[in-house]
Homo-oligomer: A and B are copies of this chain.
Amino acid sequence: MTDGTDESEMPAEPTQALRFGQARLARSTALVEDYVELIADLLASGGEARSTDVAKRLGVTHPTAIKSIARLKREGLATSKPYRGIFLTEAGHELAHKVRARHRLLVELLLAIGVPLEAAEADAEGMEHHASEATLAAAAGFLAARKHRPDE
């Protein structure tokens, strides 16, 4: 009884380590994704994205927002001249597009299984960063199938 578990395949340790590592990586990119998505939203609706608005929307102080935006610039996702608004590079826009698609898909999925709207939006804001391509594809497929069988 060296182990106790009764599985015959799967070594457990390395596999699980990879999963956790993947989750850690997703956590570290989550912030960048949220900023880019939000900035894109502000640009699309208001025409400009000011750091104060970004800070207010995220619920952080403006120095925090500015520091994070500096990271976006460092990673080639955004640009800004002093005392001017923030703009997205081509890479930034592409990322924003992907992130927004994930966000919407996750919300749709949650709504489809019966989660109330506000909870769906709040949970999706966190979960979106951990949804792999496989999960997104499955969600899309599930929702498409749902549309064909609309009741229930």
The residue among A57, A116, A135, A142 with the most chain B CB atoms within 10 A of its own CB is A135
State how many residues of chain A have any CB contact under 8 Å with chain B: 52
With an 8 A cutoff between CB atoms, is A76 at the interface? Answer: no
With an 8 A cutoff between CB atoms, is A21 at the interface? Answer: yes
Bits for A39-58, please: 1 = Cβ < 8 Å to B, else 0: 00000111100000000111
Q: Verify B135–A123 contact, CB threshold 8 A.
A: yes
With an 8 A cutoff between CB atoms, is A91 at the interface? Answer: no
Collect the chain B residues with CB atoms within 8 Å of residue A127's CB. 126-127, 130-131
Q: List 17 A-B contacts (CB under 8 A).
A: A4-B47, A17-B57, A17-B58, A17-B59, A19-B122, A20-B58, A22-B125, A23-B30, A23-B34, A114-B138, A114-B141, A115-B134, A115-B135, A115-B138, A116-B134, A123-B131, A123-B134
Closest 8 CB pairs of A and B: A126-B130, A17-B59, A119-B134, A23-B126, A114-B138, A113-B142, A4-B45, A127-B127
